[in-house]
Amino acid sequence: MSAAPTRPLTLGFDADDTLWHNENIFEKVHVRYRDLLARYHDAATVDRTLFATEMRNLELYGYGVKGFTLSSIETAIQLTAGQISAEEINQIITLGQEMLAHPVDLLDGVVETLSSLSGTHRLLVITKGDLRDQERKLARSGLADHFQHVEILSEKDERSYDAIFRRHAIDPRRFLMVGNSLKSDILPVLALGGSGVHVPYHLTWAAERVEHPPRAAGRFFEIQSVRDLPAVLTTWSAGL
Amino acid sequence: MSAAPTRPLTLGFDADDTLWHNENIFEKVHVRYRDLLARYHDAATVDRTLFATEMRNLELYGYGVKGFTLSSIETAIQLTAGQISAEEINQIITLGQEMLAHPVDLLDGVVETLSSLSGTHRLLVITKGDLRDQERKLARSGLADHFQHVEILSEKDERSYDAIFRRHAIDPRRFLMVGNSLKSDILPVLALGGSGVHVPYHLTWAAERVEHPPRAAGRFFEIQSVRDLPAVLTTWSAGL
């Protein structure tokens, strides 16, 4: 099938750690959280217990800073057998509020790449997390005008991508998803017949890690910077 | 303008306290929260301080149970000058989790009314709150199949309704919103040239109260039960 020049290709972009830094903010908060609990437990125990609490609460809370903050408080009470003070719990609440109010720090090359692509392609943001937090970050990013649609999801899986394809009349064969998470951005899209470009971030949350990289010749690409995206698009679209 | 029978009218439905009970769950939690703080402050002080915290955090947290839980913890620490125990804070976290896991209790007449209308009208859910929580409640409600689209918003104002009208090619003159909140469900829709049916719930959160009922002859209706909606629709559509 040759590319029809009158019919634009659709590119989906993940947001956190693809358009702007995010996991580094969580990492900084983890450091302060470990310090807060250092007189009770070593860092590895704190990390492991917090992650277990997050996973246990994920179905109830979903992704995002508010659920993370609640799980952090719950874990701190558990790990200190109730010895943590209200003042220290207040510090955790403040950490969460600082995360929500954190400035949006764009990744290198994002502005130039989106500017060069938005004239010739249909661009979507497809992200998960707290509704208001993601909307606020997009508004603050200055990138909103590049995107035709913004989809904030409670989960990024085959079902939710399929719903997006239907909603926007997207042919998955002409859809390419760009993101830092193999699990959320690439695997479900490949499974639906779409294509994916993995742009790893230097930090990956444990819940997003996958053991085996995907195999899908001509439909899966890995680049080190979003700056390399136009070159991938040339290769990819030539094969359509 | 006469109604074109080939072109269905669009009805938007609020969810919390319109399709299913919600504020009564918050009210039950408020009772237990006041009890928890009763040895420090009277109920009125607790309510007033919690509401002030919620309003201060609204821009950061948005609507929903997770933000409410975080504001409840923050308020409890403030009102007890840090004397509240970690165990008591854990009780507040558990209250929040119980709210999220609470069964969906439909309002009287909702099933019959939606069943009778979904064949002849295009029905939408338009709600605000936590993304995952609202999706879960809709899934548990058994009502999802009646709706063509579900819109979960971070805020229900003129701007967000206008975006929905554009997204779904809705003519506001042929759109009627049904909900329990004059502020979120009725006033912004009327301002955009649409119509609204107010179905008051017996409890209204302070942040949703408005002082003056709207005036918009032929476009604003008030009923005591969703069972009265078909009769309103007959009157309304005759005037289109």
Q: What is the pTM of this model?
A: 0.93
Note whether B114 and B146 are within 8 A (CB). Answer: yes
Sheet holding A10-13, edge to edge: A149-153, A122-128, A10-13, A175-179, A195-198, A220-222
ipTM: 0.93
Give per-residue pLDDT as tens, B24-58. Answer: 999 999 999 999 999 999 999 999 999 999 999 99
Q: Which of B61, B92, B94, B99 to mutate to test the interface with A (most CBs of A within 10 A)?
A: B61
Closest by Cβ to B131, choosing from A73, A100, A131: A131
Angstrom CA distances, B152 to A152, B124, B133, B135, B149, stand at 10, 11, 10, 8, 10
Within chain A, all domains assigned CATH 3.40.50.1000 are found at 10-20+106-238
* Fold type of domain A24-101: DNA polymerase; domain 1 (1.10.150)
Domain B10-20+105-238 in this protein, CATH class: alpha beta
Do residue B96 and residue A62 have CB atoms under 8 angstroms apart?
no
Average pLDDT value for residue range B91-113 = 97
Do residue A77 and residue B86 have CB atoms under 8 angstroms apart?
yes
Do residue A131 and residue B70 have CB atoms under 8 angstroms apart?
no
Do residue B100 and residue A69 have CB atoms under 8 angstroms apart?
no
Do residue B77 and residue A90 have CB atoms under 8 angstroms apart?
yes
Residue B3 confidence (pLDDT) above 50: no
Within chain B, all domains assigned CATH 3.40.50.1000 are found at 10-20+105-238
Do residue A70 and residue B70 have CB atoms under 8 angstroms apart?
yes
Residue B4 confidence (pLDDT) above 70: no
Mean model confidence pLDDT for chain B: 94
Give per-residue pLDDT as tens, B157-169. Answer: 999 999 999 999 9
Do residue A61 and residue B57 have CB atoms under 8 angstroms apart?
no
Note whether B196 and B190 are within 8 A (CB). Answer: yes
Count of beta carbons in the 10 Å neighbourhood of residue A116: 12
Average pLDDT value for residue range B101-122 = 96
Q: Residue B38, exposed/middle/buried by CB under 10 A (0-12, 13-18, 19+)?
A: exposed
Give per-residue pLDDT as tens, B124-138. Answer: 999 999 999 999 999
DSSP string, B49-110: HHHHHHHHHHHHH-SSHHHHHHHHHHHHHHHTTT-S-HHHHHHHHHHHHHHHHPPP-BPTTH
Note whether B118 and B146 are within 8 A (CB). Answer: yes
CA separation for the pair A189, A108 (Å, rounded): 25
Average pLDDT value for residue range B192-220 = 89
What is the helix (H) or strand (E) element at residue A12, kind and residue range? strand A10-13
Contacts of B70 in chain A (CB under 8 A): 66, 69-70, 93, 96
Residue A205 has a pLDDT of 85
Q: Which of B57, B66, B138 to mutate to test the interface with A (most CBs of A within 10 A)?
A: B66
Higher pLDDT, residue A205 or B183: B183
Do residue B97 and residue A60 have CB atoms under 8 angstroms apart?
yes
Confidence of residue B7 (pLDDT cuts 50, 70, 90): low
Higher pLDDT, residue B67 or B209: B67
Give the count of Cβ contacts less than 8 A between chain A and B. 93
Q: Residue B71, exposed/middle/buried by CB under 10 A (0-12, 13-18, 19+)?
A: buried
CATH 3.90.79.10 fits A10-20+106-238, yes or no: no
In a structure prediction context, what are the per-residue pLDDT tens digits for chain A, which is 240 residues long? Answer: 444 444 679 999 999 999 999 999 999 999 999 999 999 999 999 999 999 999 999 999 999 999 999 999 999 999 999 999 999 999 999 999 999 999 999 999 999 999 999 999 999 999 999 999 999 999 999 999 999 999 999 999 999 999 999 999 999 999 999 999 999 999 999 999 999 999 999 888 888 888 788 888 899 999 999 999 999 999 999 988
Tokens for A3? 């590319």
Amino acid at B182: L
Residue in B closest to A136 by C-alpha: B60
% of chain B with per-residue pLDDT over 70? 97
Do residue B83 and residue A86 have CB atoms under 8 angstroms apart?
yes
Closest by Cβ to A60, choosing from B61, B100, B131: B100
Within chain A, all domains assigned CATH 1.10.150.240 are found at 24-101
Q: How far is B233 from chain A (nearest CA, A)?
A: 28
Average pLDDT value for residue range B74-95 = 97
Q: How far is B102 from chain A (nearest CA, A)?
A: 11
